[in-house]
Amino acid sequence: MENILLINPGCNSAVYQALNSKLAAIEPPAFAGLFATYLRNKKCSVDIVDAAALSLSPQQVAGFVSENYNPDLIVLVVYGFQPSASTQNMVAAGEICSALKTINKNYKIMMTGTHIAALPERTLREENIDFVCSGEGPKTILLTAQAIAKKTNNFSDIPSLWYKSGDKIIANPRDSLMENLDGEMPGIAWDLLPMEKYRAHNWHCFENINSRQSCASMHTSLGCPYNCSFCCIHTPFGKPCYRMWKPETVIKEIDILLNKYGIRNIKFIDEMFVLHKPHVFGICDLIIERGYDLNIWAYARIDSIKDEFLDKLSKAGIRWLALGIESGSKYVRDGVSKGRFSTEDVIDRVKKIQNAGINVIGNYMFGLPDDTLESMQETLGLAMEINCEFANFYCAMAYPGSQLYKMAVEGNLDLPDSWLGYSQHGYETLPLRTKALSAAEVLQFRDNAFIKYFTDKKYLSMIKNKFGQDAFDHVKNMTKVKLKRKLLGD
């Protein structure tokens, strides 16, 4: 039996600065949990060390592994709360690998994840590891562990595997994607995770801000059929794709979360949950049949969420929908393949969602390639006009694997010196410059926009009236946390 140890790396204090202590979410590592289920089904012995949730330093992780495990293969599963967050976790991942090799140079270590799939050769050259997976992950992990356990040292037939042979790097062809998600990877191995450590996003629990310490994140689908230039979601899959678990598989996982762990705050991590009607309705109907009282949030697009979805979503406990509005300028949205809808469509759709009793998180981005000071002000103006229950303000980043990264490299644009520079909330944050604006101007606008939005009297009045004094006080305290920015001279 192969012994495989999966590690979820992360240094939340570096990624989120002062937000880490109470405000930032702590999510379970969904991909590590899915991979564990797949490997268990293949008769492997599997464990997970969630270094991020346990707040373990790289040296502590290495010591913990040395004292408690004897793995054939150690796998750093480098993902984040969303696909682009993989890159910001690379520093912690690399430091863990070095600490492990210092304790035992014979450890066999692999890295997999969105960032790694985007830069497999660079990752293998720069990190103290033996293998890189350039594809989806599970099958590559399994076959590599089997080859190590058999001491064959023959890795030539393992798909999506990169490895060293002397000074030469070998890159095996990519594997095809898993077709039978329900049969081979039906959910997350929750029993391997420290469930008491996870914490919901603050806005997710505005209706009961003191209930955050009970949450879970899970997939109902993998991939995305869209191709936005700022996103790197397709990197591990090789191309735009969209695969779904059956509603019956999804509800079994929800049954476990609620009935075994008492968790009702659930995030559907799917890049696009509200999309395929039979899938969405099938899951919602099963939740409604059980009479569950859930607090779920999920992603949707302005042009994917039709009127017919709203009542069903609301009855199933979908309390929040995150919408990628991105920009208040249709011209700017067109430049990143997000311009299928007008500003009037955005306003109308948000109002309809709210009228259905569902809260909205508006996701906005500053510093897209065609942005100017005027267009970013237009975006902020739209955000304040819509007045969503919460708003995420991001800077455009050239995440490895995205079209923006390719554009930045070809255009010789400045990129972060450290992978931590890709963190939206980090000290070293370095967004892309635009044709008209410097990176510092973009970042300064973003940080000022955040404060302006969340201290606006109209917004605060809405929060107090809708969610009560506790949520109101929470938002007020949130705006007192100032992020330090190297780029801005802090």
Partnered with residue 164 across adjacent β-strands are: 169
Query: What are the Cα distances from residue 88, in Å, to 78, 93, 105, 291, 472?
Result: 9, 10, 26, 39, 31
Looking at residue 324, its pLDDT comes to 87
How far from each other are the two terminal CA atoms of the chain, in whole angstroms?
52
- Interatomic CA distance for residues 217 and 48, integer angstroms: 16
Encoded tokens for 457: 């009297």
Share of the chain above pLDDT 70, in %: 97
Task: Give the H or E element holding residue 294.
Answer: none
Does the pLDDT at position 339 exceed 60?
A: no
Question: Could you tell me which CATH number the domain at 3-171 has?
Answer: 3.40.50.2300
Band of residue 344 on the pLDDT scale cut at 50, 70, 90: confident
**pLDDT score recorded for residue 433:** 94
Judge contact between 145 and 2, C-beta under 8 A.
yes
Structure confidence by residue, pLDDT tens digits, 409-455: 999 999 999 999 999 999 999 999 999 999 999 999 999 999 999 99
Average model confidence (pLDDT) across the chain = 92
Arithmetic mean of pLDDT, 3-32: 88
Domain 200-396+431-488: assigned CATH number: 3.80.30.20
Question: How much is the average pLDDT of 335-346?
Answer: 67
Structural domain spans, the chain: 3-171, 200-396+431-488
Q: Which residues pair with 484 in a beta bridge?
A: none
Predicted confidence band at 251 (pLDDT cuts at 50, 70, 90)? very high
The DSSP line for 9-38 is ---HHHHHGGGGTTTS-B---HHHHHHHHH
Q: What is the pLDDT of residue 333?
A: 59
